Structures are given as C-alpha cells and as structure tokens.
Amino acid sequence: MTCSNYPHDNRNHRASLSSDVPDRKVLGMRVLGIDLAWADSTETRSANETGVVAVDVDGSIIDAGWTVGIDETIEWMLAQAADDTIAMIDAPLVVTNETGQRLCEKQVGQRYGRWKVSANSTNCSSKGLGGVALRQRLEGLGWRYSDGHGGPPTSGRSVSECYPYTALVGAKEFGYDVERPIYKRKPKKMKVAPFRVHRACVADDLIDRLDALSVADPPLLLRSHPAMIGARSLARRELDCWPRSSHQRGRANCH
C-alpha cells in the first residue's frame, strides 16, 4: 500500500467530541462501532479479531461480535448498514505523513494527557494501516469519509475515525475525572496476577457506566443484546477463576 495525499482532509484530524447538542436528525442514523485490527490477514497469518457492534436509531443493539480481516469486516458492515449509517472506526483512516506522528495523535497527548491518554504514532511506514485500506474500499462502495469538522453526518453512509479513550474521559457522563480506566496495558509497577483482577474489576465498572446510558438522550440499550448481557459475566469469570491468593491481593484495586 502506498501513502498518498488525501484531497479533502489535509488536516489529519481525528473525530472529536463536542459539548453541543447534535442536530436531532443525527438520531436517525444507525451506528456501527468497529474496533479494527490494524494489520490485515496475509497468506501466512490471519488478522487479529475485530470487534463489531451495530446500534439502531432507538439505541438497541442489533448485532455484536467479531470479524477477521477487512473482507469479513466489510461484509458485516454491508449486512448491518441501513440507508443512513455512520461507521465509527477505532483505527487510523487517513495517513499522509511520511514520518513521525499525525497531528491528531500529537494533540491527543496535548489535550488529554492529564487523564493519562495518548495515541500510538502512525505514519506511511507503519505496518498496521488496515484502517486506510478499509476506508479506501468503503469509499469505492459509495461510503463518504467524514472528518467531523462539518458536524455529524445526517444522511447517507459515512465513515469516521474515533478514539474510545478520548470519549471515555471527555464525556462527563462516564465520570472519569482523574484518569482513563486501566483495562488494556498493564501498568509497569503492577504485577500480572493483581492486574488481571484489577482489569476485570475495571471492565465491570466500565460496563456498568455504559449500562447507565439507557436513560441518556439518545439512549444506549446495552441489555438489548445477549452478547452485551454476557460481557460483564466474562470479566467477572476471569476474576473468579484466578487463584484465590491473587484474587485477594487484587481486590484492593476494585473501587
């Protein structure tokens, strides 16, 4: 894949949160959330799993699961998309810088560093540019890329880049006032055993906070899909199955 200039987005800007109330028309958009595996499958290796979820206009979850590779992800998107759909993809979609970081990645650290949020560096030499390939193929299928500067799309099929960590700490509804939830990378000073327990506790807490959006406007009805109902039990199962000594040491990290 070659890295070329992208004519209608030379600012390399991620989608950002706004405190403004969105146009009510945006509530008529189906939303596809895609946690994309950045590297696609090759002849010798399958791609990592991509997490996918489809949320209808009333907040109900109509599908949730996993895909493997860009082909399968596009197939899922086309099956779940309505006429008016916005796909929010957690992966770099526009990469034009030959070296270093994109401007948006630098600004994530500058604007969200107080919550210990930063972004991975991406450039034309990066190996994981699956998001760029996905965006290009979707555009070939009639989807429009939206950088968010013109406001949220209100019709048609659009694709935008998102970054969940900035949403979690940037949206006051989640209540992460001090720092991001630690459910991914293990802190250097924390040992593996207590971190597994801590991660399960944090994951459960995050799911509870998402569940509270059932009364938001627009709502997110987390319990409307079996996979989402089971998500909390999976995190709890990891905690319950861990050796008791580790379990007890880690419980102090559950807040």
How many other C-beta atoms can be found within 10 angstroms of the C-beta atom of residue 221?
Answer: 16
pTM of this prediction?
Answer: 0.80
pLDDT under 50: residue ranges of the chain? 1-26, 242-253, 255
CB contact burial 178-210 (16+ within 10 A = b; e otherwise): eebbbbeeeeeeeeeebbbbbbbbbbbbbbebb
Query: What integer pLDDT is reported at residue 63 of this predicted model?
Result: 96
Which residues, other chains included, contact 18 with Cβ-Cβ below 8 Å and sequence gap of 6+?
none
In this structure, the dihedral spanned by the alpha carbons of residues 55, 115, 131 and 14, taken in order and rounded to 10 degrees, is 90
pLDDT at 142: 98
- The whole-number pLDDT of residue 42 equals 78
φ, ψ at 87 (rounded to 5°): -100, 120
Note the pLDDT of residue 235: 55
pLDDT (0 to 100) of residue 112: 95
pLDDT at 232: 66
Radius of gyration of the chain (CA): 19
Give the model's pLDDT for residue 244.
Answer: 43
